[in-house]
Amino acid sequence: MKVLVSNDYFGTPLVWEYDDGLVERIELEDFNNHTLLTDLEPPCDGTLPIDLYELVLYYVFESRVRTRNFDMVFELCQINRRSCFLIYNKIYNNHKISYKAMIHRLSKTFHMAESIYDNYLCAPNVTGTALNALVCYREGSLRHNYNFNPWDFRANDLEIKKLELDLDDSLQQIYTFPGHFYGDSVWIHGSEEDGIYNVESLQHPAIVLILCDYTYSLIPTRSTICYNWHRFVRFLRKAFGQRAGFYVMVKHQIDIENPFIETTDIFVQI
């Protein structure tokens, strides 16, 4: 695919597909247009057959996720134990834990998704660049635990950090386009010739996660990003769009026990 990139009056990137002299605009996500749902009631477990109940539950779940009403998604988990079980396995695909643990993890998951949406994607881009990262701090009680999951991080303490990178070395063949808000960012993987981009991958938005503990020490290496992060990102793409790009900053394997590494120029795409 070949594309052209322009900007509107507010500086938001506009992406156009180019084909033999014809252009057609590619619709991107508008994160500042939030739909508040008021008409989707949760199904009542006692009045529907089990199979029909599950279909209705999943339909309401998908609708609330796509419209980014994460607080209403969590309401579905509180209907009863079965609803919690179904939604937890829809996201993480692991049922060998207690109901209490499921509720805790889902609560933290939806809180983190809400915080990324409100405090990053909808926030004005004060750095003026598309190379930004979201710093997430892990709970202090897990300081010496090398295992880390999406529900281990504090959603209330997210910070936005401008990345100082050399694209030629760190993120090869990536062209970045900032917008008025952080969620407007567009990354294009590919090549450029005379203002036309040959696209291998178009990412919007692009979210880089810096996962650290309360001492600012970077946690992940390439080998320690577990299955639950892939499931978490898969869930976020339902809300933020299938073009959303997610990266995790990692440190070298030899530095896994080095507590003084805070940032690197190494990224793993999830």
What mean pLDDT is predicted for residues 9-16? 85
Number of domains in the chain: 1
Mean pLDDT lowest for which of 160-174, 186-200, 247-261?
Answer: 160-174
Q: How far apart are CA 120 and CA 158, in angstroms?
A: 9
Expressed as residue numbers, the domain containing 210 is: 2-269
The C-alpha angle 168, 169, 175, rounded to 5 degrees, equals 40
State the pLDDT at residue 203: 95
State the pLDDT at residue 115: 95
State the pLDDT at residue 251: 87
Mean pLDDT lowest for which of 52-56, 80-84, 146-150?
Answer: 146-150
pLDDT band at residue 107, thresholds of 50, 70 and 90?
A: very high
Share of the chain above pLDDT 90, in %: 49
Q: How far apart are CA 118 and CA 111, in angstroms?
A: 10
Mean pLDDT (the chain) is: 87
Highest mean pLDDT among 7-11, 95-99, 181-185, 214-218: 181-185
State the pLDDT at residue 166: 64
State the pLDDT at residue 38: 64
Q: How far apart are CA 219 and CA 33, in angstroms?
A: 34
State the pLDDT at residue 86: 93
Q: Which of 179, 258, 144, 186 is nearest to 11 (CA)?
A: 179
pLDDT band at residue 113, thresholds of 50, 70 and 90?
A: very high
The token pair at 214 is 């309360």
pLDDT band at residue 20, thresholds of 50, 70 and 90?
A: confident
- Entry pTM: 0.90
DSSP state of 125: -
Q: How far apart are CA 149 and CA 216, in angstroms?
A: 17
pLDDT tens per residue across span 179-218: 999 999 999 998 888 888 898 999 999 999 999 988 888 8
State the pLDDT at residue 238: 95
User: Is pLDDT larger for residue 28 or for residue 44?
Assistant: 28
For residue 73, which phi and psi values (nearest 5 degrees)?
A: -65, -45
State the pLDDT at residue 1: 85
Is the pLDDT at 141 greater than 80, yes or no?
A: no
State the pLDDT at residue 183: 94
